Amino acid sequence: MDKKDYKQVQNTLVKFLSKYLEKSTCKGFVVGISGGIDSAVVAKLCKISNPENVNAFLLPTYFSNDENLKDGIKLCSDLNIKYKIINIQNILNNFEETLSGKLDKYSMGNLSARIRMSILYHRSALLNSLVVGTSNKSELMLGYGTIYGDLACALNPIGELYKTEIFEFARFLEIDEKIINKAPSADLWHGQSDESDLGYSYKILDEVLFFIEKNGDNYDLLYEKFKNKELIDNVLSRINRNKFKRQMPKIAEI
């Protein structure tokens, strides 16, 4: 993977945020803070771009890790960002009761993501601000996210950075090492881990994704490079199966 000049990356992304905000005529940014590395990087970029008007929201459930909440609060304090904690467990409980049945963990995870995004958009309207996305390139290529949930946003400054690059960029931005070093997790249920869900580390996945970006998804070329059928099948299946998440809904031609 090509080594990036992260000072240039920072300048480019801050300029992107500033120009988009100016054209939108909105006042500032709204960011969902999870206590993880992606939202920490986005929050820092937003703060640099628009120091006076960044609003962060921490939206835990019963399943959320208390350490992630503490890390998210500390991040906001370190960056001097206004924040609010809104526990969404009662909303989830009401959904379950209305639907007359206990939801499995995947349904609950997707629902949590969509509730969080609904709240972020509600707050963005009240604050005349833009919802800023926190999905990295690895997640977007693999479709590892909830459509109309965490994948929804007005703009996304980190969507062209692979997860392994996010780790490097976070160190450049001097994000707290505790956030950088924790295992990546969407924190959707107890013990949930991104890399366990995906089956491989981000380091391995990013090598395959970067190769596909540069050389296409030819199976023979991929096998010649990585010699791992299970890995290649996993990545290609996720890319193809979740392609719809990266596209606008199809509108019929008349």
Binding residues for deamido-NAD(+): 114
Q: Residues forming the annotated binding site for ATP?
A: 32-39, 134, 163, 185
Total Cβ atoms within 10 A of residue 226 = 15
Q: What's the gap between Cα 47 and its chain centre? A: 17
Residue 187 near residue 64 (C-beta atoms within 8 A): yes
Query: What interhelical angle do 37-49 and 163-172 show, nearest 10?
Result: 50
- Binding residue numbers: 32-39, 114, 134, 139, 163, 185
Annotated binding site for Mg(2+): 38, 139
**Could you tell me if 148 and 46 are in contact, meaning their C-beta atoms sit under 8 angstroms apart?**
no
Query: Among candidates 198, 206, 158, 203, which has minimal Cα distance to 37?
Result: 158
> In this structure, how many other beta carbons lie within 10 angstroms of the beta carbon of residue 140?
21
Q: What is the DSSP string of 206-219?
A: HHHHHHHHHH---H
- Residues 130, 239: Cα–Cα separation, whole Å: 28
